[in-house]
Amino acid sequence: MQDAIGAIGTWPCWNTPQDGGWSADRLDAARAYAADIGSAAVMLVSGGRVVSAWGEVTTRYNTHSIRKSLLSALIGIHEAEGRIDLEATLAALGIDDREGLTERERRATVHELLAARSGVYHPSGYETDSMIAAKPARHTAGPGTHWCYNNWDFNALGTIFRQCTGADIHQDFATRIGLPCGLEDFRPETDGQMIALDASIHPAYPFRMTARDLARIGELYLRQGRAQGRQIVPADWVATSVLPYSDAGLSGAYGYMWWVERAGILFPNVILPAGSYAAKGAGGHVVLVIPALDAVIVHRVNTDIKGNAVSKGRIGRLFAMMLRARV
């Protein structure tokens, strides 16, 4: 995997990894492993500066489910400005779907959808096979009673966002977050889509983004929602979003559309420092935030090639190698 330190654009860099507190030799070993497992791009940022960058850091790849963490940030901005009420129910918002929601399902709140605890298991779409397999039978849980990583919740939140704000998700992201954070590559007119689904009226809203732009999102959250001297996402929202509301088993815990470390657990084969959290997308896309090390790691895979993926176990092993490079 080629060194990409020259392709990081406006990001500031450490002169050497050692200057930033990392071992160059151990990062070289991690880079070789990343090449072996098929990583397309990796970035390590520490102390607000790039320590190391490898691969295609300027290539726009589908972020897959990282889209949910991006929407969470937008919801936090509009919630603080009074446009979105977390206590509003689906019934109050007029949210329904093709097969019709029951009275009990319509009692679910925006808050419960954010935490993936709505209890609404209506058919959705834009899901992986594992997500479909893990979804309980419909009507088996009431609102707030059970956690399930459920695309119905996440896609319905996209509808609720557009309905409550009157804004386009991707354009609003570019205006509210992209511009003030200094994103270099994201273009809403080409990098955002709304995908209509057969089973549900609530579309998916994928983003295509580069590694160097996603690193800015990790850095934004690492700095409690601040970027370039401005408070972009409310600090309280950032802190609240990454609380471990639900036990996610082998994947740690879950917050408001962010995955959260629980007792060191977030990926296989690595023990992460307390307080770490991540945005994750199918195939191996990750923005990992490690406050204890003042660090962000971005991992990308060329999932535009059908079947191309890097397993969670291999990503965890790569992260463990990178963490051992901290000196």
Q: pLDDT tens, 216-261?
A: 999 999 999 999 999 999 999 999 999 999 999 999 999 999 999 9
CB 191 within 8 A of CB 275: no
Average pLDDT score over residue span 173-191: 98
How far is CA 113 from its chain centroid? 16
pLDDT exceeds cutoff 80 at 6 = no
- Which pLDDT does position 155 carry in this prediction? 98
Tell me the pLDDT band of 98, cut-offs 50, 70 and 90. Answer: very high
Q: DSSP character for 6?
A: G
Confidence class for position 27, pLDDT limits 50, 70, 90: very high
Does pLDDT of 204 surpass 80? yes
pTM, to two decimals: 0.97
Q: Report yes or no: 279 and 217 within 8 Å, Cβ to Cβ.
A: yes
Residue 16 CB contacts under 8 Å (≥ 6 apart), including other chains = 24
Q: pLDDT by residue (tens digit) across 272-306?
A: 999 999 999 999 999 999 999 999 999 999 999 99
pLDDT value for 3: 86
Tell me the pLDDT tens digit for each residue of 126-168.
998 999 999 999 999 999 999 999 999 999 999 999 999 999 9
CA distance 304 to 41: 14
Residue with tokens 């084969």: 269
Contact 69, 221 (CB under 8 A): no
Q: Within its chain, how far is the Cα of 242 from the centroid?
A: 11
Give the model's pLDDT for residue 7.
79
Strand partners, 159: none
The Cα–Cα gap between 218 and 207 comes to: 16
- CA 271/CA 268 separation, integer angstroms: 8
Contact predicate 225/216, CB 8 Å: no
pLDDT score for 45:
98
pLDDT band at 1 (very low <50, low <70, confident <90, very high): confident
pLDDT surpassing 90 at residue 49: yes
User: Does residue 178 have a pLDDT over 80?
Assistant: yes
Who contacts 110 (Cβ-Cβ below 8 Å, separation ≥6)?
A: 84, 85, 86, 87, 88, 93, 157, 160
**Inter-helix orientation angle 211-222/66-80, to 10°:** 40
User: pLDDT tens across 51-84, in order?
Assistant: 999 999 999 999 999 999 999 999 999 999 999 9
Q: Give Cβ neighbours of residue 227 (< 8 Å, ≥ 6 apart).
A: 180, 181, 182, 216, 219, 220
